[in-house]
């Protein structure tokens, strides 16, 4: 057991080690300072800006939001068209036709919103062209959209103009995602991830040559690298990072875990540099880190102890390996599961539906909180919105006008923050969840009986609304299941509401903060970069963020744990 905890500890230590370097680098990129990539990328960017007609004027919050919406709409139309026409497009060695319209629509929305929830199997649904030119394209642009919104929010919070969406979008790609993605893709390739345009290889099996095995291939390495780095998580193959061609060995697994959490964790440090308050950045970093590690321990203990009913049959305590690969074991599976749900990546190297209840508790809680690193760019923005709410709450307690970074928090800011954090997510998760559960036979398609079935349904909507994309995959949510149409359409609602409403609110919030006159700090000012205040923020997160969803946790994984403990 100790060996497992050591590998987990070393991996998270590596993440912390990377933070100041990557976080500082991202700050330099977005503050337009000199970086070592300038000689290569400045000419490339000049061509991009010229061809796309981008002037670098500063945008207001509303202009920035409109640019996000228009560009995302243009991308959505393009990739939807690619899906529907894939039968006539090249690079289709297995001759796949167009998917059903609702699958194509759900996939489009899911990938544009950086969620990558998949109601299909990669092998049997999308051609290489669709994977590379549509899904692989959104890996970059949806992640870069999140980073752009995140940096605009930080700029606004620190009193700067928000910047220009297209410039931020381009810089996020050319300076961050493409260079790091290229290096990690080459490493994955060298370690065994395929990169080819040939179709599946069919071989007779060794034991019985009358039976054949089909080995699915494809241009996977370049796809895989961005899948993780951009917190996308949409697998090339049905079974995602559990597939030996996506994640062949513990070395690739280490790369995948580190790359998926590298950017969202380092982005908190980027805030520290931009706000020139590294102390505050490390304090909130510590807050998130503590919850992250706690969830890893909870999930890890559950998987290590295994299923009591099966252990009784085996005659000894063995880890729960249902839906897990031998090369990853309980430790790397639990670490991956908590990291992928916390960061809104949504890739899986083991199947969350088959996790013990503590694993279900940790992964669901991650989806409810949305800040245990959180989405690309947006996770850090949510985190600082919680800080604004904490400022407001403490201001009320001590009877002072709340201020954050020397700017007064007034009605508009509080309305936007609480709307953003306290209303949107529950609406997008619980309302469709309630409708679905009201019609368990017609709509739900639950595959596991009892308390676990509730977790399956809520997990799907929480994953959609948090733009995560992982799932309790037993759920009959794909065509041609009779419940496929409902799931495709209702999840699309949660995807859109969970992505664009918060983005607009964040940008308006940043805009109004950036227009405020800074008030000089006095001894009476409530300092927000102290351990005490960070502790208060943790309390606000638990009370406001977690309690909303506690009934679900109690009826889902917690009840299931009691049921297993009493022996079925």
Binding residues for another protein restricted to 250-269, rule: CB under 8 A: 250-251, 253-254
Query: Can you tell me which of 51, 88, 523, 524 binds another protein, judged by CB under 8 A?
Result: 51
Alpha-carbon gap, residue 215 to 209, rounded angstroms: 15
Find the binding residues for another protein in span 545-564 (CB under 8 A). 560, 563-564
Binding window for another protein (CB under 8 A); candidates: 274-282, 328-336, 366-374, 407-415: 328-336
User: Interaction with another protein in 169-208: which residues (CB under 8 A)?
Assistant: 169-170, 173-174, 178, 181-182, 185-186, 189-198, 200-207
Residues 140-159 that bind another protein (CB under 8 A): 140-141
Q: Does 523 bind another protein (CB under 8 A)?
A: no
Nearer residue to another protein within complex by CB, 322 or 529 = 322
For another protein, the binding residues in 272-291 under the rule CB under 8 A are: none
Bridge partners, 214 (sequence order): 202
Q: Quote the tokens at residue 414.
A: 């509080």
Smallest distance, another protein to C-beta of residue 16, A:
17
Can you give the length of the chain in residues?
A: 568
Q: What would the x/- binding string for another protein be over residues 471 to 500, using CB under 8 A?
A: -xxx--------------------------
Cβ–Cβ < 8 Å for 95, 40: no
With contact defined as beta carbons under 8 Å apart, do 189 and 195 qualify? yes
Cα(33)–Cα(407) distance, rounded to whole angstroms? Answer: 26
Q: Taking contact as CB under 8 A, which single stretch among the options 6-14, 29-37, 288-296, 382-390 is the one that binds another protein?
A: 6-14
Q: How far apart are the first and last CA of the chain?
A: 26
The CB-of-10 to another protein minimum distance in angstroms stands at 6
DSSP-assigned letters across all residues of 290-338:
HHHHHHHHHHHHHHHH--HHHHHHHTS-----TT--TTTHHHHHHHHHH
Q: DSSP assignment of 128-167, as one string?
A: HHIIIIIIHHHHHHHHHHHHHHHHHHHHHHTTS----HHH
Find the binding residues for another protein in span 392-451 (CB under 8 A): 447-451
- Phi, psi (rounded to 5 degrees) for 565: -65, -35
Rounded to the nearest whole angstrom, what is the least distance from the CB of residue 455 to another protein in the complex?
Answer: 8
Give the whole-angstrom CA distance, residue 295 versus residue 439.
Answer: 33
Q: Which is nearer to another protein, 124 or 401 (CB)?
A: 124
* Binding-site string for another protein from residue 340 to residue 369, where x marks contact by CB under 8 A and - marks none: --------xxxx-xxxxx------------
- In whole angstroms, the minimum distance from the beta carbon of 487 to another protein comes to 15
Contacts to another protein from residues 9-28, by CB under 8 A: 10-11
The closest of 177, 145, 173 to 68, measured between CA atoms, is: 145
Shortest reach from residue 433's CB to another protein, in Å: 18
Residue 110 or 534 having the CB closest to another protein: 110
**56, 167 contact by CB (below 8 A):** yes
* Cβ atoms of 492 and 109 closer than 8 Å: yes
* Token pair of 40 as six digits: 């290569």
Instruction: Please tell me what DSSP assigns to residue 523.
Output: T
Q: How far is the CB of 422 from another protein (least distance, A)?
A: 31
328 binds another protein (CB under 8 A): yes
Q: Which of 242, 288, 443, 462 binds another protein (CB under 8 A)?
A: 242
For another protein, the closer CB: 180 or 414:
180
Q: Which two tokens stand for residue 97?
A: 């036709």
Closest distance of CB 276 from another protein, Å: 32
Cβ-Cβ contacts under 8 Å for 85 (sequence gap 6 or more): 98
By three-state DSSP, how is residue 70 classified? helix
Minimum distance from CB of 381 to another protein (Å)? 22
Q: Scan for tokens 């370097």, then name that residue.
A: 21
Q: Which span sits near another protein by CB under 8 A: 221-229, 293-301, 406-414, 432-440?
A: 221-229
Residue from 31, 81, 133, 422 in contact with another protein (CB under 8 A)? 133
Identify which of residues 166 and 368 has a Cβ nearer to another protein in the complex. Answer: 166
Residue 243 sits in the site that holds another protein (CB under 8 A): yes
Per DSSP, what are the bridge partners of residue 407? 404
| Burial track 62-87 (b if 16+ CB lie within 10 A, e otherwise) | ebbbebbeebbeebbeebbebbbebe
Q: How many CB atoms lie within 10 A of CB 193?
A: 25
Which of 2, 313, 398, 524 touches another protein by CB under 8 A?
313
For the CB of residue 339, give the shortest distance to another protein in the complex, in Å. 14
């Amino acid at each position: 057991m100790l060996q497992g905890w050591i590998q987990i500890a070393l991996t998270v230590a590596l993440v912390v080690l990377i933070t100041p370097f990557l976080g500082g680098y991202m700050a330099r990129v977005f503050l337009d300072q000199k970086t070592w990539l300038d000689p290569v990328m400045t000419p490339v960017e000049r061509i991009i800006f010229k061809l796309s007609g981008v002037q670098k004027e500063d945008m207001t919050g509303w202009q920035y939001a409109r640019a996000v919406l228009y560009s995302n709409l243009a991308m959505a139309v393009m990739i939807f068209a690619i899906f529907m026409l894939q039968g006539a497009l090249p690079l289709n060695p297995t001759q796949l036709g167009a998917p059903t319209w609702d699958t194509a629509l759900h996939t489009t929305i899911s990938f544009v919103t950086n969620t990558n929830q998949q109601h299909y199997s990669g092998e049997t649904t999308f051609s290489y062209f669709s994977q590379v030119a549509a899904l692989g394209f959104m890996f970059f642009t949806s992640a870069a959209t999140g980073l752009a919104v995140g940096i605009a929010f930080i700029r606004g919070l620190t009193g700067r103009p928000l910047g220009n969406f297209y410039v931020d979008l381009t810089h996020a790609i050319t300076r961050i995602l493409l260079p790091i993605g290229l290096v990690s893709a080459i490493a994955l390739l060298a370690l065994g991830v395929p990169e080819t345009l040939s179709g599946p290889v069919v071989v007779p099996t060794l034991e019985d040559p009358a039976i054949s095995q089909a080995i699915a291939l494809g241009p996977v390495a370049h796809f895989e690298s961005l899948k993780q780095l951009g917190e996308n998580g949409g697998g090339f193959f049905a079974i995602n990072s559990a597939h030996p061609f996506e994640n062949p060995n513990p070395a690739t697994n280490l790369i995948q875990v580190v790359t998926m959490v590298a950017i969202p964790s380092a982005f908190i440090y980027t805030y520290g540099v931009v706000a020139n308050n590294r102390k505050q950045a490390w304090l909130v970093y510590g807050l998130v880190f503590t919850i992250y590690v706690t969830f890893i321990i909870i999930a890890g203990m559950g998987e290590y102890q295994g299923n009591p009913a099966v252990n009784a049959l085996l005659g000894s305590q063995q880890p729960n390996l249902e839906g897990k690969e031998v090369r990853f074991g309980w430790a790397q599976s639990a670490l991956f599961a908590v990291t992928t749900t916390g960061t809104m990546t949504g890739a899986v190297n083991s199947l969350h539906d088959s996790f013990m209840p503590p694993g279900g508790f940790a992964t669901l809680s991650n989806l409810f909180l949305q800040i245990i690193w959180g989405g690309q760019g947006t996770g850090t923005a949510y985190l600082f919105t919680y800080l604004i709410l904490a400022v407001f709450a403490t201001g009320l307690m001590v009877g002072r006008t709340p201020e954050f970074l020397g700017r007064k928090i007034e009605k508009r800011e509080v309305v936007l923050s609480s709307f953003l954090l306290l209303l949107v997510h529950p609406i997008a998760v619980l309302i469709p969840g309630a409708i679905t559960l009201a019609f368990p036979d017609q709509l739900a398609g639950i595959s596991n009986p009892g308390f676990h079935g509730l977790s399956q349904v809520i997990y799907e909507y929480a994953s959609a609304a948090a733009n995560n994309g992982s799932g309790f995959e037993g759920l009959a949510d794909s065509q041609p299941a009779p419940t496929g149409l409902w799931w495709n359409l209702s999840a699309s609602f949660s995807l859109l509401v969970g992505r664009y409403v918060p983005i607009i609110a964040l940008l308006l919030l940043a805009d109004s903060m950036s227009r405020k006159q800074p008030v000089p700090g006095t001894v009476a000012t409530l300092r927000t970069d102290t351990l005490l205040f960070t502790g208060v923020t943790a309390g606000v997160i638990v009370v406001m963020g977690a309690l909303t969803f506690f009934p679900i946790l109690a009826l889902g994984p917690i009840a299931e744990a009691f049921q297993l403990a009493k022996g079925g």
